[in-house]
Amino acid sequence: GAGVSQSPSNKVTEKGKDVELRCDPISGHTALYWYRQSLGQGLEFLIYFQGNSAPDKSGLPSDRFSAERTGGSVSTLTIQRTQQEDSAVYLCASTPGGQSSYEQYFGPGTRLTVT
């Protein structure tokens, strides 16, 4: 079946503008995660959704970052008033949910460049 998809694949924006990044998880996956990967770095956890609720938002770097998920499916990560340090690849992942489903299936990522 179809894997996790993300859009856009690349986004160039000017400093101060708002951006929206979209994630479509695997159909039926109840858990969804956002990560940020800066150049040469590991993956930094941002937020976790179980269904439409976000029990863990502890990784969001500032109040300029927010995310929502609707219908237990699509999620949008919004960055307001973008800064140059926001430039990174933003990865989304999903899992079926439940105690036995640990493997996270990643999307291809959105490369965000703030000029």
Partner 1 sequence: GENVEQHPSTLSVQEGDSAVIKCTYSDSASNYFPWYKQELGKRPQLIIDIRSNVGEKKDQRIAVTLNKTAKHFSLHITETQPEDSAVYFCAASIQDYKLSFGAGTTVTVRA
Give the footprint of partner 1 on this chain (CB under 8 A): 4, 31, 33, 35, 40-45, 48, 50, 56, 58, 91, 95, 99, 102-104, 106-109
Q: In the structure encoding, which two tokens stand for residue 15, read together? A: 């400093």
Six token digits for residue 77: 């990560």
Q: Nearer Cβ to partner 1, position 73 or 95?
A: 95
| In the complex, least distance from residue 103 CB atom to partner 1, rounded to whole angstroms | 5
Q: Work out how close the CB of 42 gets to partner 1 at its nearest, in angstroms, rounded to a whole number.
A: 4
Cβ neighbours of residue 19 closer than 8 Å, sequence gap 6 or more: 11, 13, 78, 79, 82, 112
For residues 81 and 19, the answer to whether their CB atoms sit within 8 Å is: no
Residue 18 Cβ vs partner 1, minimum distance, rounded to whole Å: 26
Whichever of 71 and 98 has its CB closer to partner 1, that residue is 98
Task: Say how far apart CA 31 and CA 49 lie, in whole Å.
Answer: 6
